[in-house]
Every structure is written in structure tokens, then in C-alpha cells.
Amino acid sequence: MNSRNLAVAAIALATLASGAALADEKKKDMKAAEVEKCYGVVKAGQNDCQTATHSCAGTSTADSQGDSWVYVPAGTCAKLSGGSNEPKA
């Protein structure tokens, strides 16, 4: 392969890679807009991630802990009994 063909191939690969990266970012942005954190509705051991009182997903110790959250579809949390978009003390 001569240097011109090699340069064209490198540019084509870079273009494809940047396009794929942009598509991944858009997909992440869309997903973030489609879900929200909902506090106070999680069963013990079913939380999605870290809070002030425990270190990681699945480690909440009581049902409906005010600082434990789970991802729910956007707009759903307010409809759940005890649900809040902010942690409860």
C-alpha cells in the first residue's frame, strides 16, 4: 500500500471512530433523560448505588430507606407512594 492510500485509510478509520463515539454519547444522553433516581421506595438490598449509609448497589439494609435510590422511568417517581427525587434524612 502506498503512503497516499495509507493516509486515506487512516482518515477513513478516524472518521468512523469519531462517528461511533458521537453515537455512543448521544445514546448515553438519551438514556439519562429517560430515567431518574427515585429515593425512598427501594426494598432492602435492591438499591442501585451508593448512599451516605452504605457503599454500593444492593447494600441497603431496610425497606424504603430515605437515602437509597433506584432508577425509574422519568416522571414515575412522583407517582410512587413515598417516592422522592431528593434523598430524605
Task: Say how many domains are in the chain.
Answer: 1
> What is the distance between the alpha carbons of residues 33 and 44, in angstroms, rounded to a whole number?
26
Q: Give the pLDDT score at 54.
A: 67
pTM value is 0.56
The answer as to whether 69 is a domain residue is yes
- Asked whether the CA dihedral 58, 59, 63, 68 is positive or negative, the reply is negative
The answer as to whether 43 is a domain residue is yes
Assign 59 a pLDDT band (cuts: 50, 70, 90).
confident
Q: Give the pLDDT score at 69.
A: 86
Q: Give the pLDDT score at 22.
A: 47
If you average pLDDT over residues 35-57, what whole number do you get?
Answer: 81
Mean pLDDT of the chain: 74
Residue 71, judged by CB atoms within 10 A of its CB (0-12, 13-18, 19+), counts as middle
The answer as to whether 34 is a domain residue is yes
The answer as to whether 67 is a domain residue is yes
The Cα-based distances of 2 to 6, 8, 9, 11 in angstroms read 6, 10, 11, 15
Statement: residue 83 has pLDDT above 70: yes
Give the structural domain span for 55.
3-79
